[in-house]
């Protein structure tokens, strides 16, 4: 059955920070590529005229490095604006008039989750939800219970196939490259299992602190902010089985199945840290117990990944800004080689940011009579080219009804189940100095061999 293209995009929260920083530049890029020619209706409580809204969008685009005058002008012509409270029926009646003949609108809720129910009720009551789709931003709740409640709220107004839960990490080109590398290269997919892989490390490091977002971070912390969603999605991409087909539901089924195998965390498998100076940030409690760093050890159920630890480390005010995945293979056991100097374990290293590269660490023999070698790394760098911004890719996919890069209801709940035990248990919080790799206690999580510290921009 053919999937309809959305013929209008309605942005709730159009006067907010997310729209200004991320969504408006993404819409301009979509126009430039010919992926957007439908009306774009901003909805917000801010009492703006259409011209003031256009000026706000223009201000956003002027600050963005990818300003395209022609695309910006065309986008401005697509804009409409509706002001009013989200709990007022009159707001949605005005929205219906602006929608005019749109048969398949897409609603983007760039508003706090606490407002979702109010907006959804307004759409439902006024008939605006009929034959429509809805995009919701993370966080999808604060824990499993609230995520389940949020999903019930969404499903009361929209069927699951019309709900698009954004995790922009899935829209990143380097994360997509993880899947392509695995399934396009049978040479590696054949050894992608517990028989050959010793352990996996994933590090997401940030040099910046909370950058003025102290109030938000007090509500989230590192585990809720990036582990429960971004990092677990990376684990799912690394471990999922090959999808049964190339349709979006086959991809989502494979990813959700992988998430369901992640064993709920044991508090002993977690070390939390907080950088010195965090409590002086604006909006942060003077006695805050919120973590800005976390080191975690995950295991997956099932034969394929039995007893393979997945080490995850995330943190702010670390020495570099970089995200990297390191797949460490088992050391070879060969008497003819071990007689001299046992070779090191091979590895595959994916740098997801700031550079995009794939590296293969191997052993090669040194010249001479003895069977002695050295470690060599083969690196393939990938230029950024004209990569799509994640928001551009995801909004375009939602408008065309392609859900493969969006989180399904059961996948979201599986991710919350994995971290649930440590959200309710009081684990210690250790201080660490800015510009270090977190508290020394994190070494307990990984043991022999230690953490791999990624490099920043070259």
- 410 CB-near residues (< 8 Å, 6+ apart): 256, 260
| Distances, alpha carbon 423 to alpha carbons 146, 159, 220, 418, in Å | 13, 30, 11, 10
Contact 27, 75 (CB under 8 A): yes
Q: Which of 104, 230, 248, 452 is catalytic?
A: 230
Exposure string over 64-87, b if 16+ CB within 10 A, otherwise e: beeebeebbeebbebbbbbbbebe
Tokens encoding 355: 């550079």
| DSSP output for 27-41 | HHHHHHTT---S-EE
| DSSP output for 166-214 | E-GGGG-HHHHHHHHHHHH-HHHHTT-STTTEEEEEEEEEESS--TT-H
Phi, psi of 121 (to 5 degrees): -65, -40
Extended beta strands in 318-390, E state: 322-329, 347-353, 357-365, 373-381
Q: Is 230 noted as a catalytic residue in this protein?
A: yes
Residue given tokens 């293209």 in the structure block: 5
Contact 362, 374 (CB under 8 A): no
Could you tell me if residue 28 is left (phi over 0), alpha (psi between -120 and 50 degrees) or otherwise beta?
alpha
| DSSP H helical ranges for 278-435 | 335-338, 390-400, 409-423
Could you list the active site residues?
A: 230
């Amino acid at each position: 059955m053919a999937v309809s293209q959305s013929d209008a995009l309605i942005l709730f929260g159009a006067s907010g920070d997310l729209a200004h920083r991320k969504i408006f530049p993404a819409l301009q890029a979509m126009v430039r590529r010919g992926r957007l020619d439908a009306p774009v209706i901003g909805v917000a409580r801010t009492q703006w005229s259409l011209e003031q809204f256009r000026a706000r969008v223009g201000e956003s685009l002027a600050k963005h490095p990818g300003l395209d005058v022609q695309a910006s002008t065309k986008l401005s012509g697509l804009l409409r604006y509706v002001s009013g409270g989200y709990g007022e029926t009159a707001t949605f009646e005005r929205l219906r008039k602006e929608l005019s003949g749109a048969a398949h609108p897409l609603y983007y809720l760039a508003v706090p989750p606490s407002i979702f129910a109010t907006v959804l009720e307004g759409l439902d009551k006024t008939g605006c939800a009929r034959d429509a789709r809805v995009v919701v931003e993370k966080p999808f709740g604060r824990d499993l219970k609230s995520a389940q409640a949020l999903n019930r709220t969404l499903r009361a107004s929209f069927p699951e196939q019309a709900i698009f839960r954004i995790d922009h990490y899935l829209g990143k080109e380097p994360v997509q490259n993880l899947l392509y590398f695995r399934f396009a290269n049978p040479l590696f997919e054949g050894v992608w299992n517990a028989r050959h892989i010793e352990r996996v490390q994933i590090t997401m490091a940030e040099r910046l602190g909370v950058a003025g977002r102290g109030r938000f971070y007090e509500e989230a912390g590192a585990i809720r902010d990036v582990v429960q969603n971004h990092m677990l999605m990376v684990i799912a991409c690394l471990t999922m089985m090959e999808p049964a087909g190339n349709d979006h539901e086959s991809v989502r089924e494979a990813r959700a199945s992988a998430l369901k195998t992640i064993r709920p965390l044991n508090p002993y498998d977690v070390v939390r840290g907080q950088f010195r100076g965090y409590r002086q940030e604006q909006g942060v409690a003077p006695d805050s117990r919120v973590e800005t760093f976390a080191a975690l050890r995950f295991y997956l159920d099932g034969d394929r990944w039995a007893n393979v630890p997945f080490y995850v480390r995330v943190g702010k005010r670390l020495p570099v800004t970089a995200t990297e995945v390191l797949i460490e293979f088992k050391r070879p056991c060969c008497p003819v080689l071990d007689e001299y100097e046992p070779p090191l374990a091979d590895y595959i290293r994916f740098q997801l940011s700031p550079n995009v590269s794939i590296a293969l660490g191997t052993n090669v023999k040194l010249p001479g009579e003895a069977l002695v070698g050295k470690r060599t790394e083969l690196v393939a760098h990938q230029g950024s080219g004209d990569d799509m911004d994640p928001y551009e890719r995801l909004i375009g996919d939602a408008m065309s009804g392609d859900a493969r890069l969006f989180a399904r209801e059961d996948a979201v709940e599986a991710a919350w189940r994995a971290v649930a035990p440590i959200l309710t248990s009081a684990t210690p919080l250790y201080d660490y100095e800015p510009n270090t790799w977190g508290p020394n206690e994190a070494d307990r999580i990984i043991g022999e061999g230690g953490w791999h510290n990624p490099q920043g921009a070259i």
